[in-house]
Structure 1
Amino acid sequence: MNTNIEWQGYARKNGRKGIRNKILVMYTVECASFVAKEVGIHFRNTNIDVDVVGFTGCTDNQYALNMLLALIRHPNVGAVLVIGLGCEYLQADKLAAIAKEEEKPAQSLLIQNSGGTITSIAEAKEMVTILHEQLRNKTVRVTMSVDELVIGAECGGSDYTSGLAGNVVVGSVFDYIVEQGGTAIFEEIVEAIGLKDMLVSRGKTKQVGEQLLTTYNKMLDYCKSVRQYSVSPGNFAGGLTTIEEKSMGAFVKSGSKPIAGVLKVAQSAPEQGLWLLDSVPDPTYMSFGYTNPNDSEGLMDLVCSGAHVLLFVTGRGTVVGSAVSPVIKVTGNRHTYRRMSDDIDFCASDMLTGEATLAELTSALFQMIISTCQGEQTKAELLHHKEYYIPYKYQSAGTNCEG
């Protein structure tokens, strides 16, 4: 593979570089979601790249706020419009002020002050147009390379091919990106059931191993307390038999490199390398916020830790994408790929039939990532699949464990 690949990224004040230059329309409460989504729909088939993300709750939740702040600061976001109703806990003007501190063009709008739905939509459209002009005049293009890239990986709708092909190829790509000085983040600790010793042994240092053990034990206690494990009827229909078997396949997507540490949601990796993202709620007296995670939440967790591009492995098939960061969907099932070729970007099934080697598929998937970084749209982007989910949840601030 070519190790001297470069492309043009978007420079940000904090020193990071983005592969997209999006205008993020953010709503601060469910009551403002309609206006925000109508604005996004208006710009869908234009040359203005608008994504919509928001939080539905009207009360305080630090977890959700941390995610919104991480999205505002994300390098793929160039400008921000925050839309609120006016009486919720999250304050639109304060969120817009954070964007301005990042030297990103930003505006805020309160529906109660703007006069309701029709006038707010019209005002927000005008604001987006102004933000777009500011982006055109303000954004600086800079050279970007693999060592500045952050990749996230998720799997969903797993079948027997996920752990034999799809996740294997992603894990191999993870290894290559880490070798080239980049950053790779995987999550789904709830799909490490039965793999405690294997997980802990991957720690870069003894301290990291201890943190991995703590993360594993917290996950196991959580799953027991809610009587919920990350395995479904669809997984069984796809040939998997137990959560332990599914976990073996899911863990393969992390590759083979030492794990540098554990991140909490909305934390960025403090250094290059391979990182585990822990999205399991921390123990708290609040019964409020113990949510059953879904694929869109997992993808958004990875975005909020700074992932430029997401790799989403599915055996049974999925159609979802993600706001802010493009999603490349990978399957190891040839039948799924043929059936859902409009949605799935990459098929790794040739490894199962012997028609391609792991090295060949690794190179092909890596080249697809680079093409995405260079501006080529993924199938989810072309179909305007930009799902997101920001829940009520609780996690302590935590600290990064550096190797």
Structure 2
Amino acid sequence: MLQSNKSYNGPLIRLNPNDNVLIAREPLTIGHQVTIEGAAIRLRAQVAAGHKVAARRIASGEPIRKYDTVIGVAARDIEPGDHVHTHNITLVDFDRDPGFGLDVRPVDYVAPEQRATFNGIVRPDGRVATRNFVGIIASVNCSATVIRHIADYFTSERLRDYPNVDGVVAFAQTSGCGMSSPSEHFDVLRRTIAGYARHPNLGGVLIVGLGCERNQVGDLLDSQGLKTGKAVHALVMQDTGGTRATIEAGIQAVQAMLPAANDIVRTSVPVSHLKIGLECGGSDGFSGITANPALGAAMDLLVRHGGTAILSETPEIHGVEYMLTRRAVSPEVGQKLLDRLAWWERYTRGQNGQFNGVVGPGNQQGGLANIFEKSLGSAMKGGTTPLQAVYEYAQPIDRAGFVFMDSPGYDPVAVTGQIASGANLICFTTGRGSMFGSKPAPTLKLASNTPMFTRLEEDMDINCGLVIDGERTIEEMGQDIFDLIVRAASGERTKSELLGLGDNEFVPWHMGIVS
């Protein structure tokens, strides 16, 4: 890790003494002379920033090491100064010793009376919110248009008398019927909807269904232990009188909830109430050098202060899962993670999916050759503290500390699950520049490199490229991220909030057949 005050002004970065590849700090042209292991070498190819250069001769079949971790083997002989990427790396799976608990280290917890605080919203039942929305949830795709019309009615002008309400947001989705039930897919959808309905960032909830769908509103409420009342309302279009009547009834229901939703005061609470969802997208070769380990350092701080860090995207720990199982607090926790990976192997068998090795075009352009290399960086977001628990998608998270929630790598689906599990803020690292936002939990975007941050500053919340620039260590960057989290949790608007993102990112996981 880049954790010292050393300057990284040279053209190549060595991440570990045992690595046989180096990382181009800046674009390098063919013929450019560099010094590698004391020898003057001319680059044998043009190399983009974030991509890998051979530090020495690598024989065909020899493991390629980055951060002293095998990310593949050489597909042919590679000479010093060669560009090392998809054209000459072969992904070879291999057995990895899970080493349950071998790397568990005690956490130096901060005393409760000395823990950092933020200005949060304390609900009557003790839950703590970072935002204050009224949410309208569709139980089925058939009610999606209706809930959007209800939400659209509540313009900023109509909400002027409710300054403490952050907005009225519609959570539309494309399932709820035409699906097998009972099924795992059906259970996941209901669990996700219930997670949003219970979310502390919603001061009021309206659930709207059609009436003939498989995901019946009454059964949904009963199965998830949800009860209607002052803060939870439900409507069924076929019973209410159709589209227009349901929109009118929905508007009235939200208007009835707004006064109570507005009656909140932010107060100082410890950051132990924070649950941070960790996400990465549009990653590049710098993500695992700057943004991801810096976010990991911030999460180590959060855990020391009693908070919760939620790592997800199961396909994106494939190949480095042992880094997490070695930190598991028990063999049972470690095995549960391996069980989820085994499920993914079955789920993706025969498909050209990321779990099976292929990363997206943006990842490849940014310097990542395969899923093992991407996973190596992705896992760093979780820091170094013990793995306390493993959860299935959208399951309520009831353990503090570093935890894992199973999800796809697709950003909106993963974040939807994290929010349903209880995340009240999201930290999203990106190297290529993902334009992402989320509601009701806001998203902070962490840029991995300065050129991208400068180009997309309107969308990026913090520049972790300062690590590569030699202006920040990983620890200092982690503290900066932690401080930004505290400010955002206290109500400071994120870049995605200022741009109005988050209305279309509620995407529950579709994992079953459609009939």
* Same fold, judged at TM 0.5 (above): yes
The one of 201, 217, 221 equivalent to 1:76 is 201
**8 Å contact kept, 1:73–1:99:** no
Matching residue of 1:239:
367
Q: Distance in 2 between matches of 1:100 and 1:272?
A: 24
Q: Distance in 1 between matches of 2:363 and 2:376?
A: 13
Q: Distance in 1 between matches of 2:307 and 2:228?
A: 24
Q: Distance in 2 between matches of 1:119 and 1:269?
A: 38
Tell me, what secondary structure is at the counterpart of 2:259?
A: helix
1:14 deviates by: 4.6
Range 21-30 or range 225-234, more displaced = 225-234
The one of 445, 450, 460 equivalent to 1:344 is 460
Give the letter aligned to residue 202 of structure 1: R
Range 154-163 or range 141-150, more displaced = 141-150
User: Cα gap change, 1:37/1:142 in structure 2, threshold over 3 Å: closer, same or farther?
Assistant: same
The one of 30, 33, 48 equivalent to 2:141 is 30
Tell me, what secondary structure is at the counterpart of 2:285?
A: coil
Tell me, what secondary structure is at the counterpart of 1:274?
A: strand
**8 Å contact kept, 2:284–2:430:** yes
Matching residue of 2:500:
384
Q: Distance in 2 between matches of 1:306 and 1:191?
A: 21
Q: Distance in 1 between matches of 2:328 and 2:402?
A: 10
Gaps of 5+ in 1: 281-292, 395-403
Query: In the TM superposition, what are the counterparts of 1:21-170 in structure 2 within 5 Å?
Result: 21-45=132-156, 46=159, 47=163, 48=165, 49-57=167-175, 58=177, 59=179, 60=181, 61-92=186-217, 101=227, 105-137=231-263, 139=264, 143-170=268-295
Q: Distance in 2 between matches of 1:279 and 1:191?
A: 10
Gaps of 5+ in 2: 1-109
Tell me, what secondary structure is at the counterpart of 1:64?
A: helix
Spell out, residue by residue over 1:313-343, the C-alpha distance to the aligned partner (whole angstroms, 9 max, x if none): 1111111211221100111121221222221
User: Cα gap change, 1:354/1:72 in structure 2, threshold over 3 Å: closer, same or farther?
Assistant: same
**8 Å contact kept, 1:321–1:327:** yes
**8 Å contact kept, 1:55–1:391:** no
**8 Å contact kept, 1:13–1:103:** no
1:41 deviates by: 2.6
Tell me, what secondary structure is at the counterpart of 1:164?
A: coil
Give the letter aligned to residue 53 of structure 1: F
Q: Distance in 2 between matches of 1:104 and 1:360?
A: 46
Matching residue of 2:96:
none
Identity over the aligned pairs, expressed in percent?
Answer: 32
1:348 deviates by: 0.3
**8 Å contact kept, 1:13–1:102:** no
Q: Distance in 1 between matches of 2:146 and 2:205?
A: 15
Spell out, residue by residue over 1:36-62, the C-alpha distance to the aligned partner (whole angstroms, 9 max, x if none): 112223325344422221332224411
1:141 deviates by: 5.5
Matching residue of 2:511:
393
User: Cα gap change, 1:16/1:200 in structure 2, threshold over 3 Å: closer, same or farther?
Assistant: same
Range 52-61 or range 19-28, more displaced = 52-61
Matching residue of 1:275:
403
1:127 deviates by: 1.9
Give the letter aligned to residue 122 of structure 1: E
Matching residue of 2:120:
9
Q: Distance in 2 between matches of 1:43 and 1:372?
A: 24
Higher helix share: 1
Tell me, what secondary structure is at the counterpart of 1:80?
A: strand
Matching residue of 1:251:
379
Spell out, residue by residue over 1:289-327, the C-alpha distance to the aligned partner (whole angstroms, 9 max, x if none): xxxx52100111111111110001111111121122110
Matching residue of 1:283:
none
Larger Rg: 2
1:94 deviates by: 5.8
The reply on whether 1:298 has 2:298 as its aligned counterpart is no
Give the letter aligned to residue 297 of structure 2: S
Give the letter aligned to residue 240 of structure 1: L
Give the letter aligned to residue 199 of structure 1: L
Range 97-106 or range 347-356, more displaced = 97-106
Q: Distance in 2 between matches of 1:155 and 1:104?
A: 38
1:65 deviates by: 0.4
Q: Distance in 1 between matches of 2:237 and 2:333?
A: 47
Give the letter aligned to residue 390 of structure 1: P
The reply on whether 1:332 has 2:448 as its aligned counterpart is yes
Aligned length: 381
The reply on whether 1:187 has 2:312 as its aligned counterpart is yes
Matching residue of 2:29:
none
User: Cα gap change, 1:248/1:100 in structure 2, threshold over 3 Å: closer, same or farther?
Assistant: closer
Tell me, what secondary structure is at the counterpart of 1:41?
A: helix
Give the letter aligned to residue 122 of structure 2: A
- Indicate the RMSD between aligned Cα atoms, in angstroms: 2.5
The reply on whether 1:172 has 2:297 as its aligned counterpart is yes
User: Cα gap change, 1:247/1:358 in structure 2, threshold over 3 Å: closer, same or farther?
Assistant: same
1:117 deviates by: 3.3
Q: Distance in 2 between matches of 1:224 and 1:333?
A: 35
Q: State the TM-score, normalized to the length of structure 2.
A: 0.69
Tell me, what secondary structure is at the counterpart of 2:354?
A: coil
Q: Distance in 1 between matches of 2:266 and 2:220?
A: 26
**8 Å contact kept, 2:116–2:270:** yes
Spell out, residue by residue over 1:350-398, the C-alpha distance to the aligned partner (whole angstroms, 9 max, x if none): 001101222222121111111111111111122221121013336xxxx
1:142 deviates by: 5.2
User: Cα gap change, 1:299/1:100 in structure 2, threshold over 3 Å: closer, same or farther?
Assistant: closer
Tell me, what secondary structure is at the counterpart of 2:338?
A: helix
Give the letter aligned to residue 242 of structure 1: N
**8 Å contact kept, 1:79–1:99:** no
Following TM superposition, the consecutive aligned residue runs of length 4 or more in structure 1 with deviations greater than 6 angstroms are 96-100
Q: State the TM-score, normalized to the length of structure 1.
A: 0.87
